[in-house]
Amino acid sequence: MDSIRIKGGKPLNGTIKISGAKNAALPLMVACLLTEETVTLSNLPHVADISTLINLLCQHGTNAHLNGESSKNGSSNGRAISLTASEITSTEAPYEIVRKMRAGALVLGPLLARMGEAKVSLPGGCAIGTRPMNLHLDALEAMGAKIEIDAGYMIAHAPNGLKGTDIRFDSVSVGATQNILMAACLANGVSVLDNAAREPEITDLVHLLQKMGARIEGEGTERLVVTGQKTLHGANHAVMPDRIETGTYAIAAAIAGGRIELTNTNADLINSVIEILEQSGTTIERTEDGLIASRDPNTPIEGVDVLTHPYPGYPTDMQAQIMALMCVSQGSAMITENIFENRFMHVPELLRLGANINVHGRSALVRGQAELIGAPVMATDLRASVSLVLAGLAAKGETVINRVYHLDRGYERLEEKLAACGADIIRTSGE
Ligand code: EPZ
């Protein structure tokens, strides 16, 4: 199993090209199941979750063609993929694939809408929480589907098609909004989705669906109105920039000190993160295709309280990273996780590096330390792993992060991008 070794304490200077967003690319790829024609996506990130989803889509009968590879220096425009689901040969999404990646469950709505049936494994819980599917299932039932749970599978039937209806999600869910949005595109009549998630990845999906001929109003708001169509057609679309990768590298500049320019992205996607970073003493300069994050290594990091919320609030996917920064602040910070019930798995590992953190229910009180000391640590999920990388950049001595496969699920060539800015970071295999 690969690990990453970092010798901390070096300021970072350079440019990082941000990849396409994993969390946008996954639902965009699933949308290919809604049409017999080809959907082509460019700016596709080269990360493990994308390969897992390609496997799943092929299992349903999709033809997938990947073009172009990411180049070592990040100068390529990402990969492109053409997905053609002219015939759905299987409506089953097996446990072996869906358990690896929850986004696999997004095929439920599209398969049901197009084929009138779907059998999709329940994704199960994961390190960050129980992550149920009730919002997805309740909405599909409201659209006329008959659903039973049997032997760990969601078995759904709608032989006469789904019918458009008014749906109000009890709480905000990115995945449920995406699943039902896709299903509604092929339903009979009008669906109104209230209390929909407003994450930019949803808007990116709306844009692709509109290019495919879907009629959707209300993009970017909590009310999406979808007028179902009999069929959708093929389309070309560029995956939006990864806002979580953007925020992560902005925090890298903040924690290590130095100046990193982030290109191929959009600062407006991370306004809530920028606000916190500026309060912490980091300078953010917005540019035409991204931003420059900088901090003089002699300027202290201020403690700032952070609460995670659905977009446009501070993202849960940036909670572990900001906690790493607060560990070396000169004050204290209360970090409250409002989205997932168990998303503090990075805390015990940060403690191993000398951090001072006390968790009280959904909040963690971080008392900043003058320094962290490198140590071997272990990652439990994607964002927890990257918070350990960030902490390692600031820590004295060597930090070894094990279980790097978590990182590979969502960060493209992380060690190369950081090394290009002067970080002392290498990947070692087989340990
Ligand atoms: C998406 O997960 C992201 N994944 C997550 O990113 C992200 O953390 C999350 O949204 C929140 O922003 C992808 O886009 C692939 P939710 P999703 O449904 O859609 C509860 C990362 O690190 N809920 O918005 O699964 C749920 O348990 C990953 O890249 C229900 O109760 O998240 C959670 O507490 C991790 N019932 C809350 O809603 C449901 O039916 C938000 O989950 C569905 C969700």
Closest atom of ligand 1 relative to the 244 alpha carbon: 29
Q: Where are the beta strands (DSSP E) in 296-406?
A: 306-307, 332-336, 356-360, 363-367, 376-378, 398-402
Q: How far is the CA of 297 from the centre of ligand 1 (A)?
A: 36
Specify the pLDDT at position 130.
82
Q: Residue 77: which pLDDT band, with cuts at 50, 70 and 90?
A: low
The two structure tokens encoding residue 316: 């849960």
- pLDDT above 60 (res 72): no
Closest Cα to residue 89, out of 36, 137, 140, 49? 36
Whether the CB-CB separation of 79 and 64 falls below 8 Å is answered with: no
Q: Residue 74: which pLDDT band, with cuts at 50, 70 and 90?
A: very low
Angle, alpha carbons 79-82-86 (nearest 5°): 165
Give the pairing type, strands 283-287 and 290-295: antiparallel
Q: DSSP character for 302?
A: P
Helices 271-280 and 243-256 pack at an angle, to 10 degrees, of 10
**Average pLDDT for residues 387-400, to the nearest whole number?**
98
Closest Cα to residue 192, out of 236, 226, 241? 226
- Global pTM reads 0.97
Q: What is the tens place of the pLDDT at every residue in 78-135?
A: 699 999 999 999 999 999 999 999 999 999 999 999 999 999 999 976 788 888 999 9
Residue with tokens 């000391």: 373
2-37 CB burial, b ≥16 within 10 A, e <16: bbbbbbbbbbbbbbbbbbbbbbbbbbbbbbbbbbeb
Query: What are the φ and ψ backbone dihedral angles of 276, each rounded to 5 degrees?
Result: -70, -40
Specify the pLDDT at position 78.
65
Q: What is the tens place of the pLDDT at every residue in 192-246?
A: 999 999 999 999 999 999 999 999 999 999 999 999 999 999 999 999 999 999 9
Q: What is the tens place of the pLDDT at every residue in 210-225?
A: 999 999 999 999 999 9
Three-state DSSP at 361 gives coil
Residue whose CB lies within 8 A of the most ligand 1 atoms, among 339, 381, 382, for a mutation test: 339
Q: Which residues contact 125 (CB under 8 A, 6 or more apart)?
A: 131
User: What's the one-letter identity of residue 94?
Assistant: P
Q: What is the tens place of the pLDDT at every residue in 293-340?
A: 999 999 999 999 999 999 999 999 999 999 999 999 999 999 999 999
Q: What H or E segment, with its residue span, contains residue 270?
A: none
User: What's the one-letter identity of residue 187?
Assistant: A
Ligand 1: residues within 6 Å at CB? 23, 26, 102-103, 129, 131-136, 171, 173-176, 316-317, 339-340, 382-383, 410
Dist CA 270 CA 367 (whole Å): 25
Specify the pLDDT at position 127.
82
Give the pairing type, strands 223-227 and 290-295: unpaired
Q: How far is the CA of 313 from the centre of ligand 1 (A)?
A: 15
Percentage of residues in the chain having pLDDT higher than 70? 97
Q: What is the tens place of the pLDDT at every residue in 127-181?
A: 888 889 999 999 999 999 999 999 999 999 999 999 999 999 999 999 999 999 9
